[in-house]
Amino acid sequence: MSAVLPEVDLTAFAAICLLVDPAGLGGAVVEGPADAARAGWLDAIRRALPGGTPWFRLPSGITDDRLLGGLDLTATLATGRPVAERGVLAAADQGFVVVPMAERAAANVAGALAAARDAGLVRVQRDGIAMESPARLAVLALDEHEGDEAPVAGALAARLAFRLSVPHSWADDAPVLPTGEELQQLRRTYADSALDEAATRALVGAAAAFGVDDIRAVLFAGRAARAIAALDERDVVQDDDLAHAVRLVLVPRATRMPEPEPPQDDAPPPPPPPSEPPPPPPDASDASPDEPTPEPGPEESLADQVVDAVLASLPPELLASLGARMERQRAGAAGRSGAVAKATARGRQVGTTPGLPRGGKRLDLLATLRTAAPWQRLRGATLVDGVRRLAIRAEDLRIRRLRQRIGTTVCFAVDASGSQALNRLGEAKGAIELLLAESYVRRDRVALVVFRGKTVEIALPPTRSLARAKRTLAGMPGGGGTPLASGLDAVGELALKVKREGGRPLVVLLTDGRANIARDGTGGRPRAEAEADVSARRFGSQALPALVVDTSPRPNPALAALAKLMGARYAPLPVVRADTLGAAVRAVMRSEPA
Amino acid sequence: MHALLLRPGPSGGNLGLDCKQVLTMQSVYPFGAIVGQEEMKLALLIAAVDPSVGGVMIFGDRGTGKSTVVRAMPALLPPMKAVKGCRYGCDPTAGARKCADCLLREEVGEKLVAMTTPVPVVDLPLGATEDRVAGALDLEKALTRGEKAFEPGLLARAHRGFLYVDEINLLEDHLVDLLLDVAVSGENVVEREGISVRHPARFVLVGSGNPEEGDLRPQLLDRFGLAVDVVTPLDLDLRCEIVRRRDAFERDPAAFVAHWSRADAKTRKSLVAARERLPDVQVPDAVLRRASELCVALGTDGLRGELTLLRAARAAAALAGIVTVTDAQMRDVAPLALRHRLRRDPLDDAGSTARVGRAIDDLYGARSA
């Protein structure tokens, strides 16, 4: 197979695939900062598209009625009949939707995009409007997450073929993409091309080798291979096309690296498979034994060949970064659940108030009509065609006041150090599990910060998924010193983040209070304790509801003092039993204003 | 953004004017063409034969074809008889259980005519608001004539059919409350915006979701009669077949659908036969006793597990063409009926299928076939 392709050409290939069949390939997750290179890539695609192709940029915080569609209130009031308004998704039919900061997209946005990708339609059932409109769109999700932040929702990313980052050369030296008649020709060749049996098996085999379970990925890879072949004016897919498609679609989704195959140069050529009649490609008639490439044996080995070629072409840094990504995915993938309600139009109605139904606020029709009713005569409401037309003014409009129950997020900070492990780690885990069970029923969220030795980590970001919580708890090791100051800082920050997003945090710190590691990782009890005091004061100044559970065999007065600095309740429990811990947490929750 | 004028049609209002043509072009992937997923197909067929089994909950990762199977149902199901002109599609043979409108029409001496209509499979899409789900004031009549009339919602449209909620674990709490209420009572009661309406709403609730992304409320999970665990097949040959078929479908949907219509017709016939056979299906005492032993061994909560197991086994027997339930049917349906009812801490749902499988093997012996 051919030699290594530069990254630029791969991103150009991705762009061309999207131009050829946007709805079929679904789009791309574009990772990296908002720089000139990324802008260059997006512009190049937009310029190459046929004129009139829809191209929309989704503002963050877009509300359901603008996204999905709903009642066009102005037109409704003007004409006197319900008039529906299509949303952005329907307007983007056969075009592109660009989602900046896609990693922060609200759950409803990611969900709506995923649903539109699946069905090719957007279904609307809201505010008295019921409609289905075609929405065969491609999504360009711009993922700007850094470091440990959560990436784009998995449910959305799975429905987009590519995941790439744009090399610098796109900033000022962008390749020219096919356009106009050339693009139309590409589309025609693509429509005529097909994957043969061998190619299908090769892609399925390659997906298995890279540990990609989602069948969609194989379908995307097939289409990408056909588009790449079309670029070469072929309607038959060849090995190189497959390799490029695997590199573009399957490698970014890899959950494992395939084992390297032993070199086959000295092995006798395997017998040709009887059940495989590949359609003779018109321009590859030279099946001569002098071909440098190994003879295609049983179907699996084409997959192996493709995988080998791809592995060979991967630059080493990329392999390393893939490895790191897989580690992060194993540590905790899964989409963001239970996105906190900002002031979006969700929840139960609890009242009505004057206002314009804009920005997600919903019209309270009955209250509006009731307000307008007494004024009809004065306003000269007339009979038109035997039907009485209502005269409604802006000041009559009433909107609904909604309330959504904001759940509590219980942020556990667990001291997993050696001293604690000696005492109570196992019991602490059990107690937390029982608290989780209660949270499950109440629909609260839980988060877990673990500190020991030189590390503090957010073992579990706020989640409602109990399966994840349990897995994380089970895998938590113990040992090392007690970096109490760092642990306090970390859980305080997490709680503030929850508060900023509109949730209600509650911190539960389980420790024996014997701090002996300072923030910079060095040992030494005096300094560690002094720093822990400082952290506690800072925590206390944030007014975060908290409970400190003292898990040492005899109550530690220093910890009681620390709790006071934190403004937290102190519960010295010589034996941390699940039910007593639960009662203590509930007491703290109750004492906080709802 | 150009506006679409909508007039709610007799069935509750649906498509915009220019959308209808496009939609008829979009074919649905046929039921019979779906590769594997036998458990999921069985669960849905059981629910179609005997809706009293309860809803079907489909747990699975994304990309496992959960919604494909459900969306294939409308084409598969045999049409049903409904009262002509009834907004809720009442069953003409339902007697006093018909809706208030139908009963009123009968009272004034009208003879209700029956017509054939497809079984409704209704989607509860993302972003649905309560007024569209439960039904609300008819906006058009209120605005234009100041008249108070009820516009039926999705629950009305789903009556005697299926209501499908994708990502049900992310559904808003107040909508979950609504679904639970209706599931229990079989009736939708609307008291809002000055209207007071009560209409029948008995449907099979089908939910799907990825448990990793959020858990179901225990009250909701309990409402589901059957639960399916879906995984993508790992067998390479099966995966190749999936890709091959998907490709063929996209290339020429009409031909693909036509090709599989025979298989679907066969399934449809066996469904009809199964429904007719169902009242005659018997469960021998020995089989029943072993099923109870299984439930006790697994520690299922209450008796609902056993009742569901029983109903599901009878439906499975009817589908298999026999009138006596055997242990084989119990083995097939036990995981479906019981995996979500094991008394456990809510943190331990990962192992339910395995636990049920082990208990089945213990009781019935390892499967020989």
Angle at which helices B253-277 and B304-320 cross, to 10°? 110
Classify residue A379 by its DSSP letter.
T
pLDDT tier at B4, thresholds 50, 70, 90: very low
What pLDDT sits at residue B163? Answer: 94
What values do phi and psi take at A194, rounded to 5?
-150, 160
Q: Which of A94, A125, A464 to mutate to test the interface with B (most CBs of B within 10 A)?
A: A125
pLDDT at B23 over 60: no
Position B94 scores a pLDDT of 82
Cβ within 8 Å of residue A476, ≥6 positions away: A414, A416, A425, A429, A450, A459
B148 Cβ under 8 Å from any chain A Cβ: no
Please report, in angstroms and rounded to a whole number, the separation of the first and last CA atoms in chain A: 66
Cβ contacts of A208 on chain B, cutoff 8 Å: 234, 236, 239
Q: List, in sequence order, every beta strand (DSSP E) within A248-378.
A: 348-354
State whether residue B3 sits within 8 Å of chain A by CB. Answer: yes
CA A388 vs. chain centroid, Å, equals 51
Q: How far apart are alpha carbons A405 and A465 in whole angstroms?
A: 18
User: Residue B33: is its pLDDT beyond 90?
Assistant: yes
Mutate which of A132, A362, A387, A409 to disrupt the B interface (most B C-beta within 10 Å)? A132
Candidates B22, B61, B66, B129, partner chain A, best to mutate (most A CBs within 10 A):
B129
Q: What is the mean pLDDT of each run of 10 residues along chain A (594 residues)?
A: 64 94 94 90 93 90 82 71 86 94 82 86 80 92 80 85 90 87 93 90 91 89 94 89 92 81 45 39 37 43 76 67 58 35 50 73 73 72 63 80 72 80 62 67 76 86 75 77 90 88 84 84 87 91 86 84 90 62 68 50
Give which of A368, A365, A362, A364 is closest to A343, Cα–Cα. Answer: A362
Are A98 and A53 a contacting pair, CB within 8 Å? no
**Nearest CA distance, A267 vs chain B (angstrom):** 25
Distance of residue A74 Cα from the nearest chain B Cα, in angstroms: 11
Whether the CB-CB separation of B169 and B214 falls below 8 Å is answered with yes
Average pLDDT (B273-279) is 95
Residues 6+ apart with CB under 8 A from A417: A451, A452, A453, A478, A479, A480, A481, A482, A483, A514
Q: Is B215 on the interface with A (CB under 8 A)?
A: yes
Residues of A in contact with B151 (CB under 8 A): 128
Task: State the nearest Cα–Cα gap between B66 and chain A, in angstroms.
Answer: 11
Chosen from B24, B25, B126, B216 to mutate, greatest number of chain A CBs within 10 A: B126
Supply the pLDDT for residue B191. Answer: 86
The per-residue pLDDT for A521 is 80
Selection from B244, B57, B160, B215 nearest residue A337 by Cα: B215
pLDDT for res A21: 94
Measured CA to CA, the distance from residue A492 to residue A508 in angstroms comes to 11
Q: Do A465 and B213 touch (CB under 8 A)?
A: yes
Tell me whether B238 touches chain A (CB under 8 Å): no
Chain A: nearest CA to B321, how far in angstroms? Answer: 34
Q: Which of B14, B69, B243, B349 to mutate to test the interface with A (most CBs of A within 10 A)?
A: B243
| More confident site: B65 or B258 | B258
User: What pLDDT sits at residue B347?
Assistant: 47
Q: H-helix or E-strand containing A91?
A: helix A88-91
- A471 contacts in B (CB within 8 Å)? 350
Note the residue count of chain A. 594
Asked about B339 being catalytic, the answer comes back as no
Q: Are strands A504-511 and A408-415 parallel, antiparallel or unpaired?
A: parallel
For the four alpha carbons of A100, A102, A106 and A108, in that order, the dihedral sign comes to positive
Residue A272, min C-alpha distance to chain B (Å): 19
CB spacing of A335 vs B213 below 8 angstroms: yes
Q: Chain B: nearest CA to A313, how far in angstroms?
A: 25
Minimal CA separation from A565 to chain B, in Å: 35
Q: Tell me: the pLDDT tens digits for B305-362?
A: 889 999 999 999 999 999 999 999 999 999 999 988 886 554 455 567 878 888 888 8
Say which range, A428-442, A490-504, B115-129, B207-221, has the weakest mean pLDDT.
Answer: A428-442
Please judge whether A215 and B218 are an interchain contact, meaning their C-beta atoms are less than 8 angstroms apart.
no
- Report chain B residues whose CB lies below 8 A from the CB of A110: none
Interchain pair B172, A154: CB under 8 A: no
Whether B13 and chain A come into contact, CB under 8 Å, resolves to yes
What Rg, from alpha-carbon coordinates, does chain A have? 30
CB contact under 8 A, A219 and B247: yes
Is there a contact between B174 and A347 if contact means CB atoms under 8 Å apart?
yes
Q: Which helix (H) or strand (E) holds A84?
A: strand A83-86
A347–B172: do the CB atoms touch at under 8 Å?
yes
Please report the pLDDT score of residue A590 as a whole number: 67
For residue B97 the two structure tokens come to: 């259980």
Q: Residue A98 and residue A215: Cα distance in Å, rounded?
A: 25
**B305 CB-side CA count, 13 A:** 25
Selecting among B304, B331, B343, B367, the annotated active-site residue is B304
Count other Cβ atoms within 10 Å, centred on residue A501.
Answer: 14
Q: Considering CB atoms only, which of A64, A134, A433 is closest to B347?
A: A433
pTM of the model: 0.72
Chain B stretch 262-291, residues whose beta carbon is closer than 8 A to a beta carbon of chain A: none
Dihedral sign (CA A189, A48, A10, A326):
negative
Q: Which residue of B has its CA nearest to A110?
A: B126
Alpha-carbon dihedral sign for residues B61, B65, B71, B72: negative
- B28 CB near a chain A CB, below 8 Å? no
| Chain A residues touching residue B61 (CB < 8 angstroms) | 213-214
- A:B CB pairs within 8 Å: 233
Record: contact B63-A219, CB cut-off 8 A = no
DSSP 8-state class, residue B36? S
CB contact under 8 A, B347 and A436: yes
Q: Phi-psi region for residue B158, left (φ > 0), alpha (ψ -120 to 50) or beta?
A: alpha
Average pLDDT, chain B: 83
Instruction: Yes or no: say if A109 and B40 are a contact pair by the CB < 8 Å rule.
Output: no
pLDDT at position A431 is 66
CA pair distance B56, A316, nearest whole angstrom:
48
- pLDDT of A303 reads 75
CA angle A454, A507, A408 (to 5 degrees): 135
List CB contacts of A167: < 8 A, sequence separation 6 or more.
A7, A8, A11, A37
Chain B residue with minimum CA distance to A376: B146
Regarding beta strands B3-5 and A83-86, do their DSSP bridges make them parallel or antiparallel, or are they unpaired? antiparallel
